[in-house]
Structure 1
Amino acid sequence: MTSSNWPSSPRLQRYLQYLGWGGLFVYIGLLLMLYLVWYSQSKQTGFHFFDDSAQWLQMDKYGHCFTAFHLSWAVYSWMVWAGATSHKASWQAAGIGFLLMLPIEILDGFSASYGFSWADVAANALGAFLFSAQIRLMGGLKLLPKFSFHPTAFAPQRPNVLGNGWSQEWLKDYNGQTYWLSIPLGAICKTQHWFTNGICLSIGLGAEQMIYARNPENWTVGLTPYRQLYVGIDFDLRAIPVQHTWLFFLFRLLNLLKCPLPAFEWAMAGGSFLWHTYYF
């Protein structure tokens, strides 16, 4: 779906205003949800800094990068529909996507359990840059960050930190999270076809055996945190032509998620390989 599918002015401008206000309310709602799930049970303190770069095997940093990327993409789409050139919108959207992540860092800064993290800020900048660089240098998105999650046995061991129930665990249990980069085959073999544009090679990163943020704390309870590398296939829903606006937005949201398809796993600690008939 492109801007040509949208009604012309002034009806277009009215659509864009609705979209802008709707996006703002969704953003505020997401911040409120994040506060209730993440910060409401944490003691508040004065603003402070905290170095968390060594925590959770950097899984939280992948999350920051992923979120900044997709916020930048959402803003970019809105700007292009509004008539901005792709070149101009790419860097402006990246800047706005980066700024939209700052409230999270500020909330961290006032939380006794966390703190304002420059490592988080760097991950936010990387995600926004990854988006903008692709638009400017590749003419489109060839590397698409995606997310998957499955419940683990680790969250029940420390539910106050890793979440209590699926509604919290998908956000807080890093053991079950995997962050992917999906690359359409058409971007590799330069063949433009619905099949090659849809089927993707997908590379994922995960980690396990973490109920505490730092490795020494996990070692004391008999856990050995390790990273996981995944190689699998995925499907890019952008390859499916749609005529209805609601389908376009539905596919856009679903495309945040890695499809549950076959994947190889390499457990980096022991060097063992696993085959998953489907992995999510």
Structure 2
Amino acid sequence: MLILSFCPLFLPVSTAQDSTKRDAQPCYHCRLRGLIIGEAVVYSTTLYGLSKAWYNNPLRNFHFFNDNHEWLQIDKVGHMVTAYQIARVSAQAYRWAGLTDRKAALYAGLTGLIFQTPIEILDGFSPEYGFSVGDMVANIAGPALYTGQYLTWGELRIQPKFSFHYTHLAKERPELLGKKRTDRWLKDYNGQAYWLSVNPAAFAGRDSKFPKWLNIAAGYGIQDMVAAEFDKSVERGFRPYRQYYLSLDVDFTRIKTRNKMLKTVFFLLNTLKVPAPTLEYNGRNGLRFHALYF
């Protein structure tokens, strides 16, 4: 949700692809000042809206809540990927404001962490939730993965991505897994998959014959979870299990183009894992092959 709120602010069309390209004579300090003000205003408004809409009861004493056992941990992977994408989008904004790739990566890592932390703190004061150490670890891991790659390699070689397909399980508990198609992609964890998309050509070096745009992706998903807890799903007659995937993917930002609008489209598309032939392994059915999986 935060990514969607900030995309219009963070994605100037002229710099939508990861690069250090600069305009002719822009006022970078003007851009940076406006960017920081815009971030503060939009985020403060979003946080205020969340505090009113998400928390039904008044906030009380701060407390912790251990939810690491819930949803077979896929929600934690989701936190990591979301925090990573916030950092990725933020870095583009900082490049647009004139910062180098290295500085942009450092600032973006901090931004990704700062954007997520207040929400976890609000959870800590909420009677319904509580501060989750697991969520916070995931929120740190996402920006760290982004910043760490630029500090180590000067580029992104491993990219977390997201995919989703609708499942019949949402009909079992629509109040939990989503009543409408527009919210099931967010609530139905059974249809979600999270991926680490790796670019072999970047690791192989300049002499590699591997296509620069082609990635290999390892993914994780769950199935038959109709409650947050494993045992409660079993009580409802389901047998939850984990799913592991191996597939092909595309790094759109490595497709060369001079079209600025197309660069923006490629940057946005790189959030998603493309449908592709996929090998799945799970504890119930063993190995399975999908001619096309998303």
Of residues 102, 107, 110, the one that matches 1:87 is 102
Query: Quick one: which of 198, 211, 214 aligns to 2:229?
Result: 214
Higher mean displacement: 129-138 or 144-153: 129-138
Report if aligned partners of 2:276, 2:292 keep a CA contact under 8 Å in 1.
yes
Between the two proteins, the alignment pairs up a number of residues equal to: 276
Unmatched segments (≥5 aa) in structure 2: 1-16
1:241 corresponds to 2:256: yes
Structure 1: 5+ residue runs without aligned partners?
Answer: none
Work out whether residues 197 and 249 of structure 2, in 8 Å CA contact, stay in contact via their aligned partners in 1.
yes
* Residue in 1 that maps onto 2:21: 4
Report the CA distance between 1:43 and its aligned residue.
4.4
Q: 1:184 aligns with which of 199, 211, 232?
A: 199
CA change 1:28–1:200 in 2 (3 A) is farther
TM value normalised by structure 1: 0.86
Give the secondary-structure state (helix, strand or coil) at the position aligned to 1:101: helix
Shift of 1:188: 3.9
Larger relative contact order (CA 8 Å, sep ≥ 6): 2
CA–CA separation in structure 1 for the residues paired with 2:58 and 2:237: 32
Q: 2:275 aligned with 1:260, yes or no?
A: yes
Q: Distance in 2 between matches of 1:32 and 1:151?
A: 31
Match of 2:6 in 1: none
Percentage of pairs with the same residue? 37
Displacement of 1:222: 1.6
Does the C-alpha gap of structure 1 residues 180 and 225 become closer, same or farther in structure 2, counting only changes over 3 Å?
same
Q: Which residue number corresponds to residue 151 of structure 1?
A: 166
CA contact (8 A) 1:194 1:239 kept: no
Q: Confirm or deny: 8 A CA contact 1:266 1:273 kept in the other structure.
A: yes
1:123 aligns with 2:138: yes
Q: Secondary structure at the match of 1:197?
A: coil
Q: What amino acid is aligned across from residue 286 of structure 2 in structure 1?
A: S
Return the letter of the residue paired with 1:217: K
Separation in structure 1 between the aligned mates of residue 163 and residue 88 of structure 2, nearest angstrom: 19
Judged with a 3 Å threshold, the aligned counterparts in structure 2 of structure 1 residues 187 and 29 are, in CA distance, closer, same or farther, namely farther
* Match among 238, 241, 247 for residue 223 of structure 1: 238
Q: Is the 8 A contact 1:218 1:225 kept in 2?
A: yes
Deviations 1:122-167 (A, max 9, x none): 0111111111111111221100000001111111211122111121
Structure 1 CA distance for aligned equivalents of residues 164 and 232 of structure 2: 24
Misfit runs of 4+, over 6 Å: 32-36, 192-195
Please state how far the C-alpha of 1:29 moved relative to its aligned partner: 7.3
Aligned to 2:75: 60
Corresponding residue for 2:13? none
2: distance between equivalents of 1:34 and 1:150? 27
1:146 partner letter? K
Q: Given the superposition, is the C-alpha separation of residues 169 and 255 from structure 1 closer, same or farther in structure 2, using an over 3 Å criterion? A: same
1:7-86 mapped onto 2 (5 Å cutoff): 7-10=24-27, 12=28, 39=54, 42-46=56-60, 47-86=62-101
Q: Distance in 2 between matches of 1:194 and 1:31?
A: 47
SS at 1:196 equivalent:
coil
Q: Secondary structure at the match of 1:256?
A: coil
Alignment partner of 2:190 out of 175, 179, 204: 175
Q: CA deviation at 1:35?
A: 6.9
Q: TM-score, normalised by structure 2?
A: 0.83
